[in-house]
Structure 1
Amino acid sequence: MRTNTSKLDGEMYNKEMAKLEKIIDLLNDALWQFCAWQKGYDVPDFLNRLINSPAETFHRYLSYEFIAQEKCNGFDVGEDEYNNPNYQICYEEITSEMVPILEAHNELCRLLPDIKEAYSNSLFRIEINAYGDRKVVKTADADLYIMKQCTEYI
């Protein structure tokens, strides 16, 4: 009588867990940027839009135009008032805000197939802490799901 045995591919498991952690970190970075610029936001809706339509979502909520307008309003500078003494300071702040946003967008687009797969398999969820802060965390079933995916039957 032959019995089926299984073997966990540890290297593959570690790689997949690291990928999930990277996805979670990336989504939390994008969420933090979004929350810093949007008031009265719907986090689950934002996350769903980000995963299903990243270009539109970044353009709508985190675009250069949106952030420039907000920063210029804060400095009481028109977007085309280049001779205003506060314009250079405002422009530097806009640029420093945009660097991490564009880096996150680039990484999100690169990992989008993996993010969609993790999302469709419910490997992460939004958690709300006692202060009302929201963050992406892996689900309790994520380890088991990945372990099953990395098991070889011999």
Structure 2
Amino acid sequence: MNYKFWTVCMVQDGDFVLLLDRQHDNFKGYIPPGGKVEFPESFVEAAIREVREETGLEVSNLIYKGLYEYINPKKNDRYMIFNYLSKEFKGKLLENSPEGKPVWVNVNEAQYLPMQNSIRRRFPLFFEEGTFEIQVEWDNVKNQEGKVTIKKT
């Protein structure tokens, strides 16, 4: 079994969230800060580090919102993305980031921005009570997302 761990941290300031306008590689669109968990750091430490590296902000008091995972039974792969929300931050926002330009976006207008399906699918769940678990099974034949299961608690 191959496991890979990632984090995402949605930074919220009132009616606005901080997103990165990512325009490189095959993962274009507006995305929250996040990235790979480096061993042996914790998932929370990774989320804090990624926000700092990608936006310049220091977040604190992260709230766990849920798990988003891709599974590929044919290749024995499992990619797990731990999702957090932070409403507490300090620091100066970077002008540009290697991952994309940091921009504050109204939560209600974000749905109209270009986003990957994986981001759009979980975006509203960051602002609901409780947690979520989303599992996406990869379809090797079609080389795309297959069955999607969403559970909210």
Shared fold by TM > 0.5? no
Rg larger for = 1
TM range (shorter): under 0.3
Choose between structure 1 and 2: higher helix proportion: 1
Alignment TM-score, normalising by the size of structure 2: 0.27
| TM-score, scaled to structure 1 | 0.27
